[in-house]
Amino acid sequence: MAPDSLKRISRNTVVILGDFIHEGLRATIAGLGYTYIQRTLYNRKPKTWKKRAETISQLQESGRLAGVILYLPTPVFVYGCHPDFAEAWTDLVKELSRHKSIAFVFENNLAGEFGFWDYESEQLLDYEKAQAEYERLKPFLGDSTSEGRKAEQLMFAIQRMEQVQERVPEIDSFLRILLTSSVEIAPFRSRADVTIRIREFLEHINSGVFLRLYVPNGRYQSQQLDSFLRIFESYLRQVEGINFSIDSAKTEHGVVYTFRNPDTIQNGQDFQDALTRFDDFMNLCRYEPQRAETILQNLGVDSTEAAYVVTRYSKNYQRIVMDAMHELEYKKLVLRQKLESEMFELTSGDLLPIPLPEHTSPFVSLSHNIGPVTINLPQVSVRNTTAIQSIVGQVMHGDITYNEEDRQLVTLFNEYAGQLEAIQLQSDLEQLKDESTPQSRKKTAKQRLLAFLCRSAETASDAAVKMATSVLVEYLKNLAAGSP
C-alpha cells in the first residue's frame, strides 16, 4: 500500500496524482528503487488540490522527489474544469512545471472533444449518438453483463457531456493552462498506453535519459555525426568529469542514440551549454593548444598526457571536418548525376544549373538533425519539383523518405519548438516511419508528436496553422497505426 504520511516516504519518491495504479506498476516502481504516494483528485475540493501542490513542493525541498505523474481521464478533466478550481489548477500546474512531471490526458480531450469513446467500434459518439445507444442498452442497466456496464458508462458520459456544454470557457482555460506550461503531456487512448509511458518515464528518470536521437541509415553526415558524438562524450567524461554517456542501438533502417546524464544535464539549455563549452575547447585545441593543455593540467592531468590529449582531440575533430567535406563532394556528385539525368528528360535535353546544399558542420548536424532538403530549380513545374525533391530525399536522407505532410511537420518543429525539442520531435517522426521500430517506442513517439501539435495549435495565432495541425494529427494517427 502507498504510504499515508510524508514521514513514511523514502528519499526517492514518485507522486501519482489520480487513480491510476496496479500491481505491475507497483513492481516497476519498487524495482527501480522508488516508493510512491498516490493522491486522488476526483471528488476532492479545490483546497485539497492546492494541498497536492504543497505536498510536491515539500518533497522537492526535502530532496525526496523523483517525479510526478498526473492522470487526467475524462471524468477528472471535466470535474476540474469547474470555475471553483481555476486558482487551484493554476497553482498545481505551476508546481508540476518546476519538476520532472508528465500529465496523461485522454487524446480526444486535448482536441476539445468530450464524446463517448466506444472501444468496440473505435468511434467517438457525440451526444445524440450516445443518447441513442444508451436508450438501446438502458434495459440492461444494473446488470453485470457487458451491456449493463456499457449502459452505465454511457449514462455517466452523457451527464459529463451536458456539463461540458455549460463549461466551454472554463474547459478552454483549463486546457490552455496545461498546454502553455512546460509539463510534458502524454495523450492516451487506453490504460495500456499510460502504463507503457509511465514505465519509460520512470526508467528515464532513474538512468538520466534526456534525449533519444534517431538517425536513418545513409543520411547525409550520419557517419561524421557518430564520430562527433563519440568525441563529445569523451570530452564531457574526461575533461569536465561529468557522468555522461551516449548509447547506440541499431534498427533495420537507422541508429538510435540515447543520451544519459543523471545529474548535470537536466534540460535542453544544459545540453546546449555543454555543446558550446565543447566547441570552445575544440577551438582552443586547434588554435591555442597551450591554453588547452593548461586547462587539462589544472584539472590534474599530467603535462605529457595533456599534450597528447589536446593533439588527439584536434586531429579527431579535424578528421570529422575533412570527412564531412569529402562526403559533401560525394553527395554533390551523386545529386548532380541524378538531377542532370532527370532534368534532361524534363527539359528536352537543356541542362539547368543545380543549386546544391551548403556545407553543414557536424555540430550543426547534431543541433538541427539535418531535416528535409529542398532544392529550387528554375523553369521546373511544381509536378516536376516534387519528383526532384524525391531524388534529393533519397540521396540526402537515407532510408527514411519524406512526404509533404512530413515536411509540414518539420516546418512546425523548427518554428514552434526549441532546438533540442525539435531534434527529439523529428527523431520521433522518423521512428514512426521506420517499420522496425518497436511498438512501445512508436506509442511514445506518437504521444510526443500529438502533444506538440496540440501545443502548437494553442499558441499559434495563424488560423492556417491551426487548421494544418488538425490535418497533421490525423496523418500521425494513421502513420502510427501503419496506414499509408
Lowest-confidence pick of 16-20, 340-344, 402-406: 340-344
| 46 assigned to some structural domain | yes
Q: Tell me the pLDDT band of 119, cut-offs 50, 70 and 90.
A: confident
pLDDT average, residue stretch 303-318 = 88
Domain holding 131, by residue range, is 6-204
- Name the least confident of 142-146, 382-386, 389-393: 382-386
Side chain identity at residue 59, one-letter code: L
- Domain boundary at 204, 227, 249, which? 204
Q: Measured between alpha carbons, how far is 160 from 108 in angstroms, rounded to an integer?
A: 14
* Mean pLDDT lowest among 216-225, 307-316, 368-377, 415-424: 368-377
Looking at the fold, whether 260 and 311 belong to one and the same domain comes out as: yes
Q: How confident is the model at residue 381 (pLDDT cuts 50, 70, 90)?
A: very low
| Rounded Cα–Cα distance for residues 35 and 15 (Å) | 9
CATH number at residue 76: 3.40.50
Least confident of 22-26, 45-49, 404-408: 404-408
Pair 103, 248 in one domain: no
Q: Which three cell numbers stand for residue 339?
A: 538531377
Asked if 265 and 244 touch (Cβ cutoff 8 Å), the reply is yes
Residue 129 lies in a domain: yes
| 362 vs 279: CA distance, rounded Å | 11
Residue 130 lies in a domain: yes
Domain count, the chain: 2
Tell me the mean pLDDT in the region 445-465: 85
Alpha-carbon separation of residue 29 from 65, 337, 366 (angstroms): 13, 56, 33
pLDDT of amino acid 268: 76
Q: Return the number of other C-beta atoms located less than 10 Å from residue 482's C-beta.
A: 10
Amino acid 5: pLDDT: 43
Same domain for 109 and 144, yes or no, is yes
- Residues of the chain with pLDDT > 90, as a percent, come to 52
Q: What are the distances in angstroms from CA 238 to CA 231, 242, 244, 304? A: 10, 8, 10, 15
pLDDT number for residue 337: 63
Instruction: Answer for the pair 443, 196: CB distance below 8 angstroms, yes or no.
Output: yes
Rounded-to-integer distance, Cα 353 and Cα 340, Å: 9
Give the whole-number percent of the chain exceeding pLDDT 70. 82
193 and 226 assigned to the same domain: no
Is residue 50 in a domain? yes
Domain final position from 345, 367, 385: 345
Helix 439-459 vs helix 419-433: crossing angle, to nearest 10: 130
Q: Which residue has the cell 567535406?
A: 325
**Confidence check: pLDDT of 64 > 70:** yes
Asked whether the beta carbons of 367 and 423 are under 8 A apart, the reply is yes
268 and 192 fall within a common domain: no
Residue of 397, 419, 420 whose CA lies nearest to 407? 397
Domain identity same for 264 and 294: yes
Residue 282 maps to a domain: yes
Q: pLDDT band at 341, cuts 50/70/90?
A: low
The residue ranking higher by pLDDT, 266 or 185, is 185
